[in-house]
Structure 1
């Protein structure tokens, strides 16, 4: 069994090298026994940050950034949980509860502002009617 596995891994390495040579795609894009796709992505991010003189961002930090942006733009928590690979949305709610609380305060402020504007408009209408 292990001989077959090693042979298959060697075959995949060879195919990856051939594709990389023909397409110009980094060899790192193809998994091998030492480096998988996650490492490829982390290396690509590291290279990008260095090339553009940006500070190092841990890979896990990108998950938090992504989730925070999605939530801030109104994406429902179930979808965010699914993208993060959380088995339930409760996990996502627990991790991002501080952010969700601030979004809840923001929603309350919007509602208060909306109703206070309506009250002001109603008062203005009453004043106009009383002047007629």
Structure 2
């Protein structure tokens, strides 16, 4: 019998620019191993103070639109009190308040229940830290 709780960590390298990285395929591969056609919940968590998890459409410009919106809301300038790292890095520490570091999604019959255009994405604006861990946890019966 499969375990009620299974967890794994993805190691993601985001590069030297702000990114929205689609993790949907990684989540599906994890569920193929962990869920075994069961119903339950998938929790995605990024344990970093400057990154978040978003559910959004990718490939049509929405990922770039999200990064542009974050620049409008949180400009990378010298207004931030948190001042180490690259210029304007303090904004990166505010982003998880707008793009939460976690998401919990339904899993039905071992399959991730997303809408037609929805993807699970890592949002990372911190160009000073290009190595990210993302924990995937399945709880099901």
Greater RCO structure (CA 8 Å; 6+ sep): 2
Higher strand share: 2
State the TM-score, normalized to the length of structure 2: 0.20
Larger Rg: 1
